[in-house]
Amino acid sequence: METARQNLARFLAALPKTETHLHIEGALPWELLKAASGDRFPCPPASWAEDFRFSDFAHFETELLEMAFAYFTSPERYHEAASAVFRKLRDDENVRYVETSFASGMIEFGKLDARAVAQAIRGAAPEDMEVRVFMGIHHNGYNDATRDFIEASLEWPELAGIDLHGTESFPLEPWTADLWARARAAGKFTKAHAGEFCGPDFVARVIDELGVNRIQHGVRAAEDTALLDRMARDGIACDVCPLSNVKLGVVPTMADHPLPRMLRAGVVCTVSTDDPISFGNRLSGEYLALAQVHGLGPAELAEVAANGFRVALLPEPCRRAFIDEIARLAKEHAA
Ligand SMILES: [Zn+2]
């Protein structure tokens, strides 16, 4: 006799899903890092433990960069990692669409060829998975060492767009709004991290000043119901990573996570894993946590999965087919 938990796991496994907030450096499979770095990383990071909490963003970033710098030394390494990441997501999590970013800071410090890195990631997409590659730029990431490749990237067909990364501890510099507007004029998609550590005011500023309609995280927008109403009305979507938020102390526990409240307010929210090498999380685990801790039922979980395709940069018939498939699975499950 199948238990309710097994029944839910089977339903979740059948749902086509997306990852729309995934840093490729943070998605590096630990096995690849271990194999490539001698005995430097013999065990999975301590941060995989369920009760582990990072002391702050700097703690998290330092540990992640140590692993990333040890591995991502060439475009070939990006290709190898991306191939493994995409294959695992497709085979283990039924992910059919991925938006992933690489960090301009990695290009800067490793003196890598940024376009070759974008091509290496894009070229790693399996035939039956759609992948869109973004370049992530920190608040202080546009400088003499990065300006040329960032500007050139707006013309690269293999790059889908740009994403504001980082700690939210810097004020928005004058270059930021200008670059984001020019990226859109060049046909690129733009998004931004906000509302992870800074509050709703910063989320509103990013929407107003950068002109984005996709926020990475955005969870602190939930502190302002007027802002949530505005985001629902204007179709500003949030790519939320609940387990990341717990381990980074954005919320004290999963039970405190505002995602269900954001969904009820009508904000289009997706669910992704952010940096699984640091958090030890899996996409199915994110959905299960929403079911077990917040009581989201199959119909609501199906809506979250469908939201991933609603925000996806896909041709309309392809988007429709995925959303219809999810609706059919939810209906069959309810029958
Ligand atoms: Zn992120």
Q: How far is the CA of 217 from the centre of ligand 1 (A)?
A: 7
Q: How far is the CA of 273 from the centre of ligand 1 (A)?
A: 9
180 token code pair: 């984001």
Q: How many Cα atoms within 13 Å fall on the side-chain side of residue 19?
A: 31
87 token code pair: 């294959």
How far apart are alpha carbons 271 and 303 in whole angstroms? 11
Question: The domain that contains 225 carries what CATH number?
Answer: 3.20.20.140
pLDDT of residue 1: 66
Domain range for 322 is: 4-334
Hey, which residues does 164 pair with through a beta bridge? 137, 192
How far apart are alpha carbons 292 and 5 in whole angstroms? 9
SS3 content of the chain, % helix, strand, coil (to 5): 55, 15, 30
Reported as a single tens digit per residue, the pLDDT across 95-120 is 999 999 999 999 999 999 999 999 99
* CA pseudo-torsion sign 314, 316, 317, 321: positive
What is the pLDDT confidence band of residue 3, given thresholds at 50, 70 and 90? confident
Share of the chain above pLDDT 70, in %: 99
Mean pLDDT (the chain) is: 96
Reported as a single tens digit per residue, the pLDDT across 248-307 is 999 999 999 999 999 999 999 999 999 999 999 999 999 999 999 999 999 999 999 999
> According to the 3-state scheme, what is the secondary structure of 27-79?
HCCHHHHHHHCCCCCCCCCHHHCCCCCCCCHHHHHHHHHHHHHHHCCCHHHHH
What is the pLDDT confidence band of residue 174, given thresholds at 50, 70 and 90? confident
For the annotated catalytic residues, the residue numbers are 196
Q: How far is the CA of 23 from the centre of ligand 1 (A)?
A: 6
Phi, psi torsion values for 257, nearest 5 degrees: -70, 135
Q: How far is the CA of 106 from the centre of ligand 1 (A)?
A: 15
Q: Check: CB of residue 190 under 8 Å from CB of residue 211.
A: yes
Q: Check: CB of residue 203 under 8 Å from CB of residue 175.
A: no
Reported as a single tens digit per residue, the pLDDT across 198-227 is 999 999 999 999 999 999 999 999 999 999
pLDDT of residue 39: 87
Q: Which amino acid is at 29?
A: P
Q: How far is the CA of 169 from the centre of ligand 1 (A)?
A: 15
Q: How many Cα atoms within 13 Å fall on the side-chain side of residue 272?
A: 31
**Apex CA 82: angle with CA 78 and CA 88, to 5°?**
155
How far apart are alpha carbons 22 and 132 in whole angstroms? 11
Residues 39-56: what's their mean pLDDT? 95
pLDDT of residue 170: 62
How far apart are alpha carbons 335 and 326 in whole angstroms? 14
The structural domain count of the chain equals: 1
Q: How far is the CA of 164 from the centre of ligand 1 (A)?
A: 9
Residues in the chain: 335
Q: How far apart are the first and last CA of the chain?
A: 18
pLDDT of residue 335: 86
Q: How far is the CA of 165 from the centre of ligand 1 (A)?
A: 7
What is the pLDDT confidence band of residue 2, given thresholds at 50, 70 and 90? confident
**Cβ neighbours of 331 (radius 10 Å):** 11
